[in-house]
């Protein structure tokens, strides 16, 4: 299993960003809940947060499994 330094740095950076996002979500949970309960366009706040988490964590997970050499089995059509 050969991993490049660039891949390790990218994966580590994404892991740190992901953990920091979880910290921010926990730390600011009350203001986020208050904003999202105001109605109107504020309902988008949790949706945007979910998209950000999905993108960052998904990218991290992809890099992580690639570093380990685990790939999805191709589907025959």
Condensed to tens digits (0 to 9), the pLDDT of residues 10-46 reads 999 999 999 999 999 999 999 999 999 998 999 999 9
* Dist. CA 17–CA 11, nearest whole Å: 10
Predicted local confidence at residue 2, as pLDDT: 60
For range 6-10, the mean pLDDT:
92
Any residues with CB less than 8 A from the CB of 32 and at least 6 apart, and which?
Answer: 25, 45, 46, 49
What one-character DSSP code corresponds to residue 4? Answer: -
Predicted local confidence at residue 69, as pLDDT: 87
CA torsion 40-43-45-47 (nearest 10°) is: -140
Predicted local confidence at residue 41, as pLDDT: 93
Predicted local confidence at residue 50, as pLDDT: 96
Whole-structure pTM over 0.95, yes or no?
no
């Amino acid at each position: 299993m050969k991993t490049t330094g660039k891949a390790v740095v990218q994966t580590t950076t994404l892991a740190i960003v992901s953990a920091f996002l979880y910290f921010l979500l926990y730390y600011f949970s009350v203001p986020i809940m208050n904003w999202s309960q105001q109605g109107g366009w504020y309902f988008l706040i949790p949706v945007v947060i979910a998209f950000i988490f999905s993108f960052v964590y998904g990218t991290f997970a992809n890099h992580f499994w690639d570093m380990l050499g685990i790939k999805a089995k191709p589907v025959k059509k």
